[in-house]
Structure 1
């Protein structure tokens, strides 16, 4: 069990503004689960076009935020910070369900649970909640693989 602030998170994820979508890890247990938050603010760049008069966080970005949380759990499970040549890629999204809109001012609490790991493939159950109410759920498959870095 442990916490991670945004500076710790940046050691594990290559994402940066405006695409770093995890603000803090509240707790995790390597090989089991991770809980993290994303504070949704009106200053997010995607709200300019989605939608100007009724801003809603795009569902695909909620899925991405959950995928970033799985990356953190994956790297913490492996017990190492990622190397420059390691990419952690979202390769499948199954059983995605969108239950409620996420809007500015919401705090997205993500809970990801490792279901299985085989070689470079990882499978997770993921949920995102706002005020305890389910907003999005999905099964995410990710792969950690070495890439040629220029």
Structure 2
């Protein structure tokens, strides 16, 4: 398990762009399982949407990317490097995510060649799919 301080030692993201709170499990080069606690105090809810707060889909995708980056950047040959989005494929949003929800995000790396990785991502709330996507990462 990784707490927020340990996550920040791996990822360059900081508030307000660090979108995962804890890594529950991870196997370097294989997968990572993370949690994001969605809070009404997040700045995005001031404008998305007042009176009907909804976590934007791009934030869910970014949380997925950060989870996948943990799986990549904990590999010995990628430690201290940065993982960038290389692409998003087949993203599907299946339910609204609201303040008070807890996102569980799992990214399983399916391909890894040189410095490019592809992963299958799924985000759930209380066991129900909120979003699925295939993500491509480029490590610099």
TM-score by length of 1: 0.90
What residue in structure 2 maps to residue 24 of structure 1?
A: 22
Distance 1:120 1:32 in 2: 14
What residue in structure 2 maps to residue 46 of structure 1?
A: 44
Which whole-Å deviations, capped at 9, do the CAs of 1:27-66 have from their partners, x for residues lacking one?
A: 1112221110000000010011100010000000100000
What residue in structure 1 maps to residue 99 of structure 2?
A: 104
Distance 2:77 2:125 in 1: 30
| Partner residue of 1:37 out of 35, 38, 55 | 35
What residue in structure 1 maps to residue 8 of structure 2?
A: 10
Distance 2:113 2:78 in 1: 18
Unaligned residue ranges in structure 1 (runs of 5+): 146-150
Shift of 1:79: 5.8
Check conservation: 2:72, 2:78, Cα contact below 8 A: no
What is the RMSD computed on CA atoms of the aligned residues?
A: 1.1
What residue in structure 2 maps to residue 89 of structure 1?
A: 84
Is the counterpart of residue 119 in structure 1 residue 114 in structure 2?
yes
For these two proteins, the number of residue pairs brought into alignment is: 140
Query: Whose Rg is larger?
Result: 1
Distance 2:13 2:31 in 1: 21
Which whole-Å deviations, capped at 9, do the CAs of 1:95-134 have from their partners, x for residues lacking one?
A: 1000000000000000000100111110000000000000
Runs of 4 or more off by more than 3 Å in structure 1? 78-81
What residue in structure 2 maps to residue 148 of structure 1?
A: none
TM-score by length of 2: 0.96
Shift of 1:81: 3.2
